[in-house]
Structure 1
Amino acid sequence: MTEFLAPAVTHDIDNIISTLNQRFSHHRIPVHQGVVHWRTLGNGPPLIMLHGGHGDWGHWVRNLDALAARHQLWIPDMPGYGDSTADAGSLDDIVIALRASMNVLFGPDADIDLIGFSFGGLVATTLAAQRQHIRRMALIGTAGHGGARRERGRMLSWRHPDDPATEEAALRNNMQSLMVHHAASIDDLSLALYRQAVLSARFRSKPLSTSGRLLPVLAQCRHPVLLIWGEFDVTAVPEDVAPALCAAGPDRHWEVVAGAGHWAQYERAEAVNALLSDWFGK
């Protein structure tokens, strides 16, 4: 079985992504907005993994082998993203579609574990507050905290279909400004996944991501929650926002991953995988 934990050093990235896609079982679940596309891998209790804004299943590419060793991973392209044809005009639309498709896959009362990254953290928390039957939840670089954000580099317009070199330079700039801390973390695989995701994104998550909607929803959740940020995550100052989020309920914990930016589970996959494996193994 091919491991996907190490940075790719190859120019045949399309083949790598295609090979990875073939490892999944694919489930296309109709909902009233369209179809939600789920990928699943591994065996064990279900662990649902929600990607971030302008993202898709590729946000988890370096976490699959570690987590699938003990769980059955369920990874949707959320409505408005990736291979899901379901569209959404609001956070509620996304949550309703995910709940409906989860009811088809698991039934409404099945206990699940849940991870959300960035905007997916706000989605995961909203889903958890409504659905219940969540055993444990982890939020990585969660959006919606409403607190201070660090200064970041300027984002560039990257759509240059007739100028691939300019397009790639802009994508690299944007990844360095928002997603990762170290330029060396932008390898061929991460760049291809980032481009794939932003090309297919149709839902504009930024107003929700920069809002303060997370805290009141998190206060409705009574299950254990682990909050993870990269040391250099530009979307938050963990020391400022973590205490309030942890005070929102019982059994809250937070960790900072050294040397990581926002996309901590890619840039420092080994450290994040260890945290998640320990958390969901309890």
Structure 2
Amino acid sequence: MTRINLKTPVASAQPEAQAAALLQQSERIVTDADGCRIVWRRFGEGQPVVLLHGGHGSWLHWVRNIEALAAHRTVWAPDMPGFGESDDIASDLAVMTGALVRGIRQLPGCGKALSLAGFSFGGLVAANVAASLGTVRRLALMGSGGHGGIRRQQRALVDWRKAGDAEALALSMRYNLEAFMLADPAKIDAMAMYAHTESCRLTRFRSKTISRSGDLRGALDRFGGEVLLAWGEHDVTADPVPAIAAMTRDNPRREGRVVAGAGHWVQYEAHGPVNALLDGWLPK
């Protein structure tokens, strides 16, 4: 049985206001991909980059990165179909890919060339979107799913849906963040709790089986462009060194990075180094 430390602090209300303040800097745009409404948030001006979140995620997976990236470019941060405020679709990778391709083609300024970044399940999705879209300049994948290699998860996750009250929910969410998302428990701050809780609550798409499919290398081969792959040193969903070797082997257009001290949610836990890495990689 999984045990939870009942002395663990719960989240505060502060990050909701922080997220709202960030959204005030954005423009909300809704595309319709053959009846599937996708909610996008646009930040900044310049060369476009689309940020795709992970499974049990939302645009909030990029909450520590948007401002830094939008300082020199246009950032599009959607809730992918089946997540957040966007419409539901079948839990199928091809359906997800097609909906996002159609949605991206409707975004202002994304008709000619853009870059993509994806986290976790969103990394596998981004690779497939890049292969289908045909206009992606650069692809950056953080803790990507679909690598088909070693996983290092040691602790089973708690079913937060069984939480009987707000305190039990917060304890479950914190436990799962520590077991799966972040390597350093001290990095589980109020914003991490808020982003994880709100994203999980609004997740309907079932991504786990897809993320473990091992299809990433094939999608990257179909894309054929420049790719950056990064995993946190302590990511439980992969062993970064062999994962990078498998994805970059015999392909000089692909680069790999291991981010020291970080876990799976690498762009949150190590947002300073990752923001610098992405800012240098993505076109401006």
**Distance (whole Å) between structure 2 residues aligned to residue 30 and residue 109 of structure 1:** 16
Query: Contact 2:163–2:172 at 8 Å: present in 1 too?
Result: no
Selected match of 1:169 from 171, 175, 178: 171
Query: Contact 1:122–1:144 at 8 Å: present in 2 too?
Result: yes
Paired residue for 1:126? Answer: 128
1:185-211 CA-partner distances (Å, limit 9, x unpaired): 111111011000000000110001111
| Alpha-carbon offset, residue 155 of structure 1 | 0.5
Paired residue for 1:57? Answer: 59
| Alpha-carbon offset, residue 33 of structure 1 | 4.0
**Distance (whole Å) between structure 2 residues aligned to residue 131 and residue 34 of structure 1:** 18
Paired residue for 1:112? Answer: 114
| Alpha-carbon offset, residue 16 of structure 1 | 2.1
Query: Contact 2:19–2:63 at 8 Å: present in 1 too?
Result: no
Counterpart secondary structure, 2:206: coil
Paired residue for 2:261? Answer: 259
Query: Contact 1:151–1:234 at 8 Å: present in 2 too?
Result: yes
Q: How many residues align?
A: 274
**Distance (whole Å) between structure 2 residues aligned to residue 149 and residue 264 of structure 1:** 16
| Alpha-carbon offset, residue 86 of structure 1 | 3.9
1:123-182 CA-partner distances (Å, limit 9, x unpaired): 000011111111111000000010010133121111256422211111111011110001
Tell me which amino acid in the other structure corresponds to 1:247.
R
Query: Contact 1:115–1:137 at 8 Å: present in 2 too?
Result: yes
Paired residue for 1:246? Answer: 248
1:14-41 CA-partner distances (Å, limit 9, x unpaired): 2222222222100011122421000010
Counterpart secondary structure, 1:203: coil
Paired residue for 1:4? Answer: none
**Distance (whole Å) between structure 1 residues aligned to residue 240 and residue 217 of structure 2:** 14
Tell me which amino acid in the other structure corresponds to 1:238.
P
Counterpart secondary structure, 2:107: helix
Selected match of 1:96 from 87, 95, 98: 98
TM-score, normalisation: structure 1 = 0.92
Tell me which amino acid in the other structure corresponds to 1:22.
Q
Within the alignment, does 1:214 sit opposite 2:230 as a pair? no
Query: Contact 1:111–1:133 at 8 Å: present in 2 too?
Result: yes
Query: Contact 1:219–1:248 at 8 Å: present in 2 too?
Result: no
Gaps of 5+ in 2: 1-10
Gaps of 5+ in 1: 1-8
Tell me which amino acid in the other structure corresponds to 2:276.
A
Query: Contact 2:115–2:139 at 8 Å: present in 1 too?
Result: yes
Counterpart secondary structure, 2:223: coil
Within the alignment, does 1:188 sit opposite 2:178 as a pair? no
**Distance (whole Å) between structure 2 residues aligned to residue 250 and residue 218 of structure 1:** 13
| Alpha-carbon offset, residue 281 of structure 1 | 4.3
Query: Contact 1:33–1:88 at 8 Å: present in 2 too?
Result: no
TM-score, normalisation: structure 2 = 0.92
| Alpha-carbon offset, residue 89 of structure 1 | 2.9
Alignment of 1:62-81 (within 5 A): 62-81=64-83
Selected match of 2:41 from 35, 39, 43: 39
Query: Contact 1:36–1:86 at 8 Å: present in 2 too?
Result: no
**Distance (whole Å) between structure 2 residues aligned to residue 161 and residue 146 of structure 1:** 32
| Alpha-carbon offset, residue 248 of structure 1 | 6.0
